[in-house]
């Protein structure tokens, strides 16, 4: 598709005729056909049956005729009668052309008005004067609405000289027009093979009415949610292509366990994400996924914008860290082929002695692609507070998701809407599509730490199950591997080199303390793990590793021996954290060891309030296949039977160290009086 194949209809209020449009010549030079029609012209309602049609509105027309606003408002519903008359007109038009993009232009620079236009249904808002390069990109809105399949079909119909192809394409177009089925695949989430359930005995008008009744409200609700939780960028964001040398340098770092997103700025992180997907898509089994560079970058930039950068921990850098960890795991398991000069040895040949079925026998590159998408979007739109806060404060988000995996359901919904918006699900049909969606939803929901014990139990059971070649079990085994990998990747900072893990630990503690500040200001109970006057960084990490992370990673390593290196790194980090705690005790025996109360609270509290506003402004739809929540949103019990070799220390430290180790390594559960350790939510 290109502009020369599209029609642009300029909508004019019926009471204004013979209006001059100074940019009409530019529009006619770009589009195949440009029509000026008033909003009562029946011809424009016939035009909406044509796939390649854009609708265009100049809101300044009404600005110049304020005296006539009553005649326009009278035709709108009572719910919008008090709105700006320009918005009333816009909403009326977008409701008529719900499955076609309506683009507006105006000289109004007020950002609130711009957002109101999007909420009223506008696909884009252009500031006047209009320039040729901007006009040349308008057809992209139509391309995204229709989805790549429609574009490909239109292109094939235009270029093919085959009579059969032309006849088939024409027949398809006629049917779609008669049934008034939406071409907006991205908005509805429906594919061609999803229509099989429609009763064939119904007349087209009945099918159309029933379909609209089911889908239209859901589309509007989804759009409203995305406008709040993942608002579109006001202007297209450009990216600067990488040179070959820069790409090679980034690839080398992406294939190392010592990777740290703190070394890169935001643009470089976006390039890192692109390169990981580029390397994954180079797999022969994924050659049919014809993802363009622009398409992938647009998706990544949109998703990065959905993350709140004022979150100390749950931000885009964390998402990139988890993505890189997943990519590293998949290469270690032999599911993906490592690339770049920093790649580790191939483990495929040495894996044949493992007791259990090789991951690459049940997990294919197509599953890896879905898991990589899950990783980069697993915390999309995170507000910087945990599930318990949302539930206790009775936010609409918690109410809509029935207090079950609230944040994880939000992340999954946000990610999948962006996947659809950018057409990254277009290649899957039937069972493959269901598998693709199931992996994404299940993987993200598995990151709810309130369900951690349940998953660890499943991993342990799978590790002791005799391997077999039962093909019926392979989808479930694949899903279990995906959930194991993303759960480990989500908390992988405890297995990274100590200096990396410490940076992440400090950021996580600050985010918890920021939530505690907000809880205190709202008069809510503040848990010790959120109280900046009581948080002790070393105790948080020691407790989390001993009572949560070790059990998780050892159970996964028993299932996937290639990941055993993470347990060894974690044991080393645990010893280092114990030494850090001893050092702090010796330095500050008569002082508070590591309180965060000295840190400024005004900024962090204000930042948390801004993030919380996303939870309070709008509701979200019921979750999809959300597993039931057992108990409250903290992990119920933790046990550990792991003991570690002591680290040599100076004689001066011996007594303190022995006393500390007797406390921390001998008890099977955390002391009731100790500070609560931090659990990711």
Cross-strand bridge partners of residue 9: 35, 55
Listing DSSP states for 595-638 in one string gives: --TTS--HHHHHHHHHHHHHHHH---PPPSSPPPP-SSSS----
For tokens 């195949």, the residue is 32
The tokens of 155 are what?
Answer: 């292109």
Q: Which residues are CB-neighbours of 230 under 8 A, at least 6 positions away? A: 302, 303, 305, 306, 380, 381, 414, 417, 418
> Looking at residue 343, what DSSP letter applies?
P
Determine the 3-state secondary structure of 10 from DSSP: strand
If residue 38 lies in a helix (H) or strand (E), which one and from where to where? strand 33-38
Q: Which of 99, 314, 382, 411 is catalytic?
A: 314
> For residue 482, which of 396, 580, 399, 359 has the smallest C-alpha distance?
359
Q: Can you say which residues are annotated as belonging to the binding site for Zn(2+)?
A: 318, 378-379, 490
The sign of the CA dihedral 594, 597, 602, 607 is: positive
C-alpha 648/C-alpha 657 separation (Å) is: 10
Q: Active-site residue 314, yes or no?
A: yes
> Looking at residue 99, what DSSP letter applies?
T
C-alpha 590/C-alpha 595 separation (Å) is: 13
Q: Can you say which residues are annotated as belonging to the binding site?
A: 314-318, 378-379, 490, 541
Q: Are 366 and 431 in contact (CB under 8 A)?
A: no
Q: Can you say which residues are annotated as belonging to the binding site for AMP?
A: 314-318, 379, 490, 541
C-alpha 234/C-alpha 519 separation (Å) is: 33
CA-CA distances (angstroms) from residue 192 to 178, 209, 370, 429? 16, 18, 21, 9
For tokens 């009404």, the residue is 62
The tokens of 346 are what?
Answer: 């191939």
The tokens of 390 are what?
Answer: 């949302």
Kindly report whether the peptide bond that precedes residue 129 is cis, defined as omega within 30 degrees of 0. Answer: yes
Q: Are 319 and 306 in contact (CB under 8 A)?
A: no
Residues labelled as active-site residues: 314
């Amino acid at each position: 598709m290109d502009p020369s194949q599209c029609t642009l209809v300029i909508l004019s209020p019926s009471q204004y005729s013979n209006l001059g449009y100074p940019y009409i010549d530019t529009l006619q030079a770009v589009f195949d056909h440009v029509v000026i029609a008033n909003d009562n012209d029946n011809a424009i309602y016939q035009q909406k049956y044509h796939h390649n049609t854009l609708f265009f509105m100049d809101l300044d027309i009404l600005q110049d005729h304020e005296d006539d606003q009553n005649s326009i408002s009278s035709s709108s519903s009572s719910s919008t009668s008090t709105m700006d008359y320009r918005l009333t007109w816009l909403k009326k038009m977008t409701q008529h052309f719900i499955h076609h993009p309506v683009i507006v232009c105006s000289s109004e620079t007020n950002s609130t008005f711009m957002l109101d236009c999007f909420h009223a249904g506008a696909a884009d808002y252009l500031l006047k004067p209009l320039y040729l390069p901007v006009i040349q990109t308008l057809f992209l809105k139509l391309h995204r609405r229709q989805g790549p399949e429609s574009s490909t079909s239109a292109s094939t119909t235009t270029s093919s000289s085959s009579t059969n192809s032309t006849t088939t394409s024409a027949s398809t177009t006629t049917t779609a027009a008669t049934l008034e089925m939406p071409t907006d695949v991205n908005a509805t989430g429906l594919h061609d093979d999803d229509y099989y359930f429609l009763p064939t005995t119904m007349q087209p008008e009945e099918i159309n009415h029933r379909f609209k009744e089911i889908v239209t409200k859901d589309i509007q609700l989804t759009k409203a949610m995305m406008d709040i939780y993942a608002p579109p960028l006001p202007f297209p964001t450009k990216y600067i292509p990488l040179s070959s040398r820069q790409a090679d340098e980034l690839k080398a770092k992406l294939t190392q366990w010592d990777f740290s997103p703190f070394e890169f700025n935001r643009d470089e992180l976006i390039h890192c994400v692109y390169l990981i997907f580029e390397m994954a898509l180079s797999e022969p089994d994924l050659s049919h996924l014809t993802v363009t560079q622009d398409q992938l970058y647009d998706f990544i930039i949109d998703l990065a914008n959905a993350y709140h950068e004022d979150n100390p921990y749950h931000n885009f850098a964390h998402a990139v860290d988890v993505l890189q960890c997943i990519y590293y795991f998949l290469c270690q398991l032999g599911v993906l082929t490592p690339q770049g000069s920093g790649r580790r040895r191939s483990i495929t040949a040495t894996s044949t002695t493992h007791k259990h079925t090789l991951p690459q026998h049940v997990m294919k590159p197509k599953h890896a692609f879905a898991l990589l998408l899950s990783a980069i979007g697993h915390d999309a739109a995170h507000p910087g507070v945990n599930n318990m806060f949302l539930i206790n404060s009775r936010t609409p988000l918690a109410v809509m998701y029935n207090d079950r995996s609230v944040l994880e359901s939000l992340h999954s919904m946000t990610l999948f809407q962006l996947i659809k918006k950018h057409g990254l699900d277009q290649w899957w049909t039937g069972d493959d599509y269901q598998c693709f969606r199931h992996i994404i939803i299940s993987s993200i929901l598995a990151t709810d730490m309130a369900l951690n014990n349940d998953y660890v139990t499943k991993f342990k059971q799978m590790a002791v199950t005799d391997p077999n070649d039962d093909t019926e079990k392979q989808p479930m085994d694949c899903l279990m591997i995906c959930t194991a990998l993303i759960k480990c990747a989500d908390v992988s900072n405890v297995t990274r080199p100590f200096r990396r893990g410490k940076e992440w630990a400090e950021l996580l503690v600050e985010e918890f303390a920021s939530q505690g500040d907000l809880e205190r200001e709202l008069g809510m109970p503040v848990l010790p793990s959120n109280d900046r006057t009581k948080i002790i960084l070393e105790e948080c990490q020691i407790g989390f590793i001993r009572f949560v992370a070790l059990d998780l990673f050892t159970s996964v390593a028993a299932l996937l021996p290639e990941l055993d290196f993470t347990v060894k790194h974690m044991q080393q980090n645990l010893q280092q954290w114990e030494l850090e705690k001893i050092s702090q005790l010796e330095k500050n025996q008569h002082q508070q060891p590591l309180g965060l109360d000295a840190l400024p609270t005004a900024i962090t509290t204000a930042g948390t309030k801004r993030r919380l506003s996303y939870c309070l402004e709008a509701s979200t739809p019921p979750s999809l296949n959300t597993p039931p929540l057992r108990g409250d949103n903290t992990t119920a019990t933790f046990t550990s039977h792991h003991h570690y070799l002591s680290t040599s220390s100076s004689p001066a430290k011996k007594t303190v160290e022995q006393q500390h180790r007797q406390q921390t390594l001998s008890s099977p559960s955390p002391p009731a009086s100790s500070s609560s350790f931090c659990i990711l939510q």
